[in-house]
């Protein structure tokens, strides 16, 4: 998803009506500070921002093959 799509979605305040499960993530201070800043700027939750940002990354990881899949890493 392009950045402009995320900004449009936040601007339109379109929120998914999906079940939320409490979780804990460890973020470095700089990332957390940036996330809090955007939470306030857009008047939306950090959870929403993180979920939307992770969607394309998770899709890419799910579609990718692990480096050892069919690579014959043990062949010398």
DSSP secondary structure code for residue 19 in this structure? -
Distances in Å between the Cα of 1 and the Cα atoms of 25, 49, 54, 56, 68 are 22, 13, 10, 6, 28
Structure pTM? 0.59
Helical (H) or strand (E) element with 54: helix 46-63
The angle, 0 to 180 degrees and rounded to 10, between the axes of the packed helices 29-42 and 46-63 is 120
pLDDT score of 9 = 74
Q: Which residue has the tokens 């990718």?
A: 64
List per-block mean pLDDT (blocks of 10 residues) for the chain, which spans 76 residues: 69 61 88 97 93 93 84 54
pLDDT score of 6 = 73
pLDDT score of 31 = 96
Residue spans of the domains in the chain: they are: 3-13+28-62
pLDDT score of 73 = 53
pLDDT score of 66 = 87
């Amino acid at each position: 998803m392009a950045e402009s799509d995320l900004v449009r979605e936040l601007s339109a305040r379109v929120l998914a009506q999906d079940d939320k499960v409490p979780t804990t993530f460890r973020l470095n201070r700089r990332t957390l500070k940036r996330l809090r800043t955007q939470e306030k700027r857009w008047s939306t939750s950090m959870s929403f921002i993180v979920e939307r940002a992770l969607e394309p990354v998770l899709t890419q990881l799910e579609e990718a093959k692990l480096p050892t899949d069919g690579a014959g890493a043990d062949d010398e």
